[in-house]
């Protein structure tokens, strides 16, 4: 993400609403976004060069941002239809250790599962995860 895109996102932030599922008790309540999740998808051209084919940019509220940084919840996010589902790790059948599991296709949008990608905040601590944490020198 270049510096101009970074500044554009920050300028639009006050008008954004969280796009994540807040569960059945939340109703149609709109929550103001306080940050964006940035997830590049791409491939490695060689050992030194990575190519981001596209970046998934998802506005998140303060509660979701806190949950994404903790160890209690894992977010399943389909980047084909933008649906999301939270899983409490304590009650899950599987032992999830990642903060976000990105799905390519889900039961909501496809009958074919296209892949699974993951984001582990602790593993990418030096990489931009939230747009507010991209240092000015990194954006240039």
Which pLDDT score is estimated for 130? 62
Spell out the residues 6+ positions from residue 92 whose beta carbon is closer than 8 angstroms to its own: 74
Q: CB neighbours (10 Å) of residue 40? A: 15
CA angle 137, 130, 49 (to 5 degrees): 55
pLDDT of the chain, 140 residues: tens digit per residue: 667 777 777 787 888 999 999 877 776 788 999 988 887 777 667 777 767 677 788 999 999 998 988 889 999 998 888 899 999 999 999 888 888 888 888 888 877 777 776 655 554 444 445 666 554 444 44
Question: Between β-strands 35-44 and 50-60, what pairing exists: parallel, antiparallel or unpaired?
Answer: antiparallel
Spell out the residues 6+ positions from residue 41 whose beta carbon is closer than 8 angstroms to its own: 52, 53, 54, 55, 56, 79, 102, 117
């Amino acid at each position: 993400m270049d510096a101009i895109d970074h500044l554009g996102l920050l300028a639009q932030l006050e008008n954004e609403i969280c796009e994540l599922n807040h569960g059945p008790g939340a109703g149609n309540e709109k929550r103001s976004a306080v940050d964006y999740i940035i997830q590049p998808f791409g491939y490695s051209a060689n050992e030194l060069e990575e190519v981001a084919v596209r970046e998934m940019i998802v506005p998140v509220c303060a509660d979701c941002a806190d949950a994404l940084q903790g160890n209690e919840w894992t977010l399943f996010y389909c980047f084909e239809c933008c649906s999301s589902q939270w899983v409490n790790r304590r009650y899950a059948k599987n032992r999830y250790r990642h903060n976000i599991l990105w799905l390519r296709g889900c039961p909501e949008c496809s009958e074919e599962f296209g892949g699974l990608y993951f984001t582990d905040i602790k593993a990418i601590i030096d990489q931009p995860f939230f747009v507010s944490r991209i240092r000015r020198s990194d954006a240039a």
